[in-house]
């Protein structure tokens, strides 16, 4: 069991009075979890749709929505029974309202609205990215604020500075593909199965990360912006220049070299953000934080450079509902009066800060 007590202000220490149910359906996982009023995770159930989408090489939105409809009732029932609770024990419900696939979000939000209406308990609409950020505190409730947060998922590669009160300032993000997308598209080129991140991660362990070098793309060395589309092109050219036999013989080295270029850029930008903001605490969250080489590199650098690191336990890296319940609990604790009617928001961001001008040139080393 993990605690979810993030260092946020408690306006009313009595809130939430009873356990919270979290529901997540923004992409291809139908998930439900229950946390108690102190933030302890009582259950965390995830039903993955990987098998539904695998033959298409990516998530098909219409199929995702239909699969959520088919699974949500069972997943919620499992989460309640694993927590040894019934619906009547719940004090609140938290559900992902965005960002994500519109049809998929609608399933979770409408289910949660009906349930909250039927039970007469408050409903909190949670930003999926806030959920990922909250996951950093699942294993380390005392992780300090302010800190740097790197969100690396299938749709996001964002660096934030998170303040004590919970607000975030965007320091940099990707100009094109997200890190997870770079893994997924690279895996597709290498002929690996979907989802590509775990497939590259597994294969890379059998390869030599120094054998085939891929460029590390930076938008100016000092910039905190990311770019992964050039890396993808570089893999395409390397594959084009190999014959079929070479490709088979070198797949593991290609996967290891490609992965290395992604994780080196992620880790070095995170380190640059720590230096720029003069902070010594880094949280790395989202599906790509499950990557074994990234986790290893970050731990090594944290020790060498003496900064405090929070990477969620594997169960909380990819999409899950414990993180949604946890983020919802923060809202209930800090500002219960802010809960109001909401609808899905497929393009929701953490904070709509203006993006820096697109003047820097991409350089690579």
Residues that bind Zn ion (CB under 5 A): 153, 319
**Cβ contacts of residue 14 below 8 Å, gap of 6+?**
none
Helix (H) or strand (E) holding 41: strand 41-48
Residue 155 contact, options Zn ion, ligand KG4, none, Cβ 5-8 Å cut-off depending on partner type: ligand KG4
Residue 201 contact, options ligand KG4, Zn ion, none, Cβ 5-8 Å cut-off depending on partner type: ligand KG4
Q: Are 349 and 151 in contact (CB under 8 A)?
A: no
Nearer to ligand KG4, 63 or 242 (CB): 63
Q: Is 242 helix (H, G, I), strand (E, B) or coil?
A: coil
Nearest distance from C-beta of residue 197 to ligand KG4, angstroms = 2
Nearest distance from C-beta of residue 31 to ligand KG4, angstroms = 10
Nearer to ligand KG4, 36 or 201 (CB): 201
| Phi, psi angle pair for 181, to nearest 5° | -65, -40
Helix (H) or strand (E) holding 362: strand 362-364
Q: Which two tokens stand for residue 309?
A: 């690191």
Nearer to Zn ion, 153 or 174 (CB): 153
Q: Residue 174 carries which DSSP code?
A: B
Nearer to ligand KG4, 154 or 166 (CB): 154
Q: Residue 338 carries which DSSP code?
A: G
Residue 288 contact, options Zn ion, ligand KG4, none, Cβ 5-8 Å cut-off depending on partner type: ligand KG4
Residue 16 contact, options Zn ion, ligand KG4, none, Cβ 5-8 Å cut-off depending on partner type: none
> Which residues here bind ligand KG4, judged by CB under 6 A?
27, 153-155, 180, 183-184, 195-198, 201, 286-288, 290-291, 318-319
Angstrom distances, CA of residue 132 to CA of 243, 258, 360: 41, 25, 29
Nearer to Zn ion, 80 or 129 (CB): 129
Residue 290 contact, options ligand KG4, Zn ion, none, Cβ 5-8 Å cut-off depending on partner type: ligand KG4
**Length of the chain in terms of residues written:** 365
């Amino acid at each position: 069991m993990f605690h979810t007590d993030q260092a946020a202000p408690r306006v009313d220490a009595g809130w939430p009075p009873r356990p919270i149910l979290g529901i997540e359906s923004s992409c291809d996982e139908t998930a439900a979890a229950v946390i108690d009023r102190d933030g302890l995770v009582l259950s965390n159930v995830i039903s993955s749709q990987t098998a539904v989408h695998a033959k298409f090489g990516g998530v098909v939105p219409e199929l995702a929505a239909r699969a959520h409809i088919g699974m949500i009732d069972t997943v919620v029932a499992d989460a309640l029974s694993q927590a040894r609770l019934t619906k009547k024990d719940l004090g609140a419900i938290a559900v992902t309202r965005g960002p994500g696939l519109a049809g998929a979000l609608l399933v979770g939000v409408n289910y949660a609205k009906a349930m909250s209406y039927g039970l007469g308990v408050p409903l909190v609409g949670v930003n999926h990215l806030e959920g990922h950020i909250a996951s950093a505190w699942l294993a380390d409730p005392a992780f300090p604020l302010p800190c740097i947060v790197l969100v690396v998922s299938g749709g996001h590669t964002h660096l934030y500075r998170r303040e004590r009160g919970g607000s975030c300032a965007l320091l940099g993000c990707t100009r094109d593909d997200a890190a997870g997308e770079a893994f997924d598209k690279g895996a597709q080129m290498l002929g690996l199965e979907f989802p590509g991140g775990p497939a590259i991660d597994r294969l890379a362990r059998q390869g030599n990360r120094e054998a085939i070098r891929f460029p590390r793309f930076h938008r100016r060395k000092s910039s905190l912006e990311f770019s992964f589309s050039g890396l993808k092109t570089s893999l395409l050219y390397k594959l084009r220049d190999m014959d079929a036999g070479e490709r088979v013989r070198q797949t593991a080295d290609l996967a290891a070299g490609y992965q290395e270029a992604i994780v080196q850029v992620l880790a070095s930008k995170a380190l640059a953000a720590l230096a720029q903001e003069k902070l010594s605490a880094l949280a790395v969250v989202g599906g790509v934080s499950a990557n074994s080489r990234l986790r290893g590199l970050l731990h090594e650098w944290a020790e060498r450079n003496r900064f405090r690191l929070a990477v969620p336990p594997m169960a909380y890296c990819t999409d899950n509902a414990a993180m949604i319940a946890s983020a919802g609990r923060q809202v209930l604790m800090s500002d219960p009066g802010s809960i109001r009617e909401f609808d899905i928001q497929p393009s929701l961001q953490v904070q709509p800060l203006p993006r820096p001008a697109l003047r820097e040139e991409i350089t690579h080393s």
